[in-house]
A and B are shown apart, each in its own frame.
Chain A
Amino acid sequence: MSEPRYSVGIDLGTTHCVLSYVDLETSDRDEVARHDFGIPQLTAPGAVEMRLALPSFLYIAHPDELTPGDRSLPWDPEPRFVVGELARNLGAGTPIRLVSSAKSWLCHPAVDRRASVLPVEAPEEIERLSPLLATTRYLVHLRDAWNHRFPQSPLAEQAVTLTVPASFDPAARELTAEAAAAAGLHGLILLEEPQAALYSWILASAGAWRKQVDVGDMILVVDLGGGTADLSLIAVTERDGSLELTRVAVGDHILLGGDNMDLALAHVVRSKLAAEGKPLDSWQLQALTHGCRAAKETLLTDPDAESVPVVVPSRGSRLIGGTLRTELTREEVVNTLIEGFFPLVESSARPAVRARTALTKLGLPYAQDAAVTRHLAAFLARQLGAAADLPGFETAEGASFLHPSAVLFNGGVFKAGSLAERTLQALNAWLEAEKAPVARLLAGADLDLAVARGAAYYGYVRRGQGVRIRGGTAKSYYVGIESAMPAVPGMEPPIEAMCIAPFGMEEGTEAELPAQEVGLVVGEPVRFRFFGSSVRREDRVGMVLEQWAQGELEELEEIEADLPAQDRSPGEVVPVRLQAVVTEVGTLRLDAVSRSGDERWKAELNVRGGG
Chain B
Amino acid sequence: MSDQELSFFSRLMLAFAAFWRAVTDPDFAAGVDHLLRGEPSAPRAEPAPPAPGPPPLRETNTDSALQLLGLFQQEGRLVDFLKEDVGAYSDADIGGAARVVHEGCRKTLIEHLHIVPVRSEDEGIRITLEEGFDASETRLTGNVVGKPPFSGTLMHRGWRVSGVNLPKLAEGHEVRVLAPAEVEL
Contacts and interface: CB of A to CB of B under 8 A. Distances in A.
A596 B170 CA distance: 63
A47 B169 contact: yes
Closest 9 CB pairs of A and B: A325-B96, A46-B173, A47-B167, A69-B170, A319-B80, A46-B170, A49-B167, A320-B97, A48-B168
Given A93-B184, A319-B80, 10 more contacts: A40-B168, A48-B168, A93-B182, A311-B100, A317-B83, A319-B84, A319-B100, A320-B97, A321-B93, A323-B100
Contacts of B67: 47
Contacts of B71: 44
Interface in A103-118: none
A49 B108 CA distance: 12
Given A309-B99, A311-B100, A317-B83, A69 B167 contact: no
A311 B173 contact: no
Nearest to A51: B111
A317 B83 CA distance: 9
Nearest to A287: B100
A69 B80 contact: no
A125 to B, nearest CB: 13
Given A319-B80, A323-B97, A72 B170 contact: yes
A320 B94 contact: yes
Nearest to B177: A45
27 contacts: A43-B167, A44-B74, A45-B173, A47-B167, A47-B169, A48-B167, A48-B169, A69-B170, A69-B171, A74-B168, A93-B184, A294-B103, A309-B96, A311-B99, A313-B77, A315-B182, A319-B81, A319-B97, A319-B100, A319-B101, A320-B84, A320-B89, A320-B94, A321-B89, A323-B100, A325-B92, A325-B96
Contacts of B95: 325
B172 interface: yes
Given A319-B77, A319-B81, A319-B100, A70 B173 contact: yes
Contacts of A435: none
B167 A320 contact: no
Contacts of A323: 93, 96-97, 100
B13 interface: no
Nearest to A322: B97
Interface in B129-185: 167-174, 179-180, 182, 184
A70 B99 CA distance: 30
A125 B169 CA distance: 31
A296 to B, nearest CB: 15
Most B CB within 10 A of own CB, among A319, A321, A325:
A319
B89 A46 contact: no
A318 interface: yes
Interface of A: 40, 43-49, 69-70, 72, 74, 93, 294, 309, 311, 313, 315, 317-321, 323-325
Contacts of B180: 45
Contacts, number: 78
**A contact patch SS:** mixed
A325 B101 CA distance: 13
A506 to B, nearest CB: 45
A319 B89 CA distance: 11
B98 to A, nearest CB: 9
B169 A46 contact: yes
B105 to A, nearest CB: 12
A90 B70 CA distance: 17
A309 B82 CA distance: 22
B86 interface: yes
Contacts of A313: 77, 97, 100
Contact of A47 (B94, B172, B173, B182): B173
A321 B180 CA distance: 20
B77 A47 contact: no
A318 B85 CA distance: 10
A309 B98 CA distance: 12
Contacts of B70: 44
A317 B80 CA distance: 5
Nearest to A319: B80
A227 B109 CA distance: 30
B99 A47 contact: no
Contacts of A317: 80, 83, 179
Contacts of B101: 319
Contact of A70 (B81, B93, B170, B179): B170
A74 B168 CA distance: 9
B173 A69 contact: yes
A318 B167 contact: no
A93 B181 CA distance: 13
Interface in B110-137: none
Most A CB within 10 A of own CB, among B74, B80, B94, B184:
B80
Contacts of A324: 96
A315 B96 CA distance: 14
